Structure 1
Amino acid sequence: MAELRVKAKELESIKQEERKTKCPKCGCTEFTPLRKKWRLLTGFATNKVELVCNNCGYKMQPK
């Protein structure tokens, strides 16, 4: 019975690890969110957010 609980906890931790966002360039999981204030093409304000990898500086859109 105790073994089943341990295995269930291990599976849950693996699932949580898979859900983390990873940098496609270096695989790092630490990001800094940057808010875009306006669009270059239209000049209008926007609420978009960009994630910047703390390790390599790669910029990506959040999922």
Structure 2
Amino acid sequence: MKGIGSGMWHGSTIPTLLPALEQHGRLELGQSDRDRVLAISAPTIDRVLGHDWNGPVPGF
């Protein structure tokens, strides 16, 4: 689900999906990484999803 504003949708699902993924053994995160995932903002999600990974790094 990539597109304008999708960070708000993705961000709102993280608190529900993360525990389910952990409970079923699909994801293992240390506490600091888990905290970072739960704290990610919608604009940051949009930037990550919208970045062309084969292009230049943004800001450089």
TM-score by length of 1: 0.24
The structure whose residues are more often helix, as a share, is 2
The structure whose residues are more often strand, as a share, is 1
TM-score by length of 2: 0.25
